[in-house]
Amino acid sequence: MAGTDKQREAINRKLVTMQMEMIGLTYEDAMNTPEFWRIYSLTTEQTEEWRKKALPLIRKTFKVNKSRGEMIMATFEVSLGLRIYDPVEVVEHDVCPGPHLEDLVHLKRKPKPTFWQKVQKFFVGYYQ
């Protein structure tokens, strides 16, 4: 990332704080949890909201243009950013009737053979 070590440390602290506040926790909660970025998550909507807030902060801190700021933000998201997780709503079977799993078995695709399986099939008659 751009900037001095002090700037990078300060912006990382601010960005982690912003993310943790979105899920109702604090920066200290994140620091007390080993590998917090794997445990906690944001929804897609929360992530978009966070990005809208984070980009101006990054641009102001490092005095960079928008594309460079987006690159810095992407670097942060890869290293310390919370993962994105949208929970799937479970629908009761009676409410939403549809095909049963047994009815969909015929739609299951056969796995494609690997390269070595193709080679073995090719040479089956050759070595026997």
Average pLDDT over residues 9-15: 93
The one-letter code for the residue type at 64 is: V
Residues in contact with 43: Cβ distance below 8 Å, sequence separation at least 6, in sequence order: 84, 85, 86
Tokens of 33: 């949890």
pLDDT in tens, 70-116: 999 999 999 888 988 888 776 555 555 555 655 565 556 667 778 77
Residue 127, pLDDT score:
54
Cβ atoms of 20 and 62 closer than 8 Å: no
Tokens of 114: 């690997």
Full-model pTM: 0.65
- The percentage of the chain sitting over the pLDDT mark of 70, rounded to a whole number, equals 78
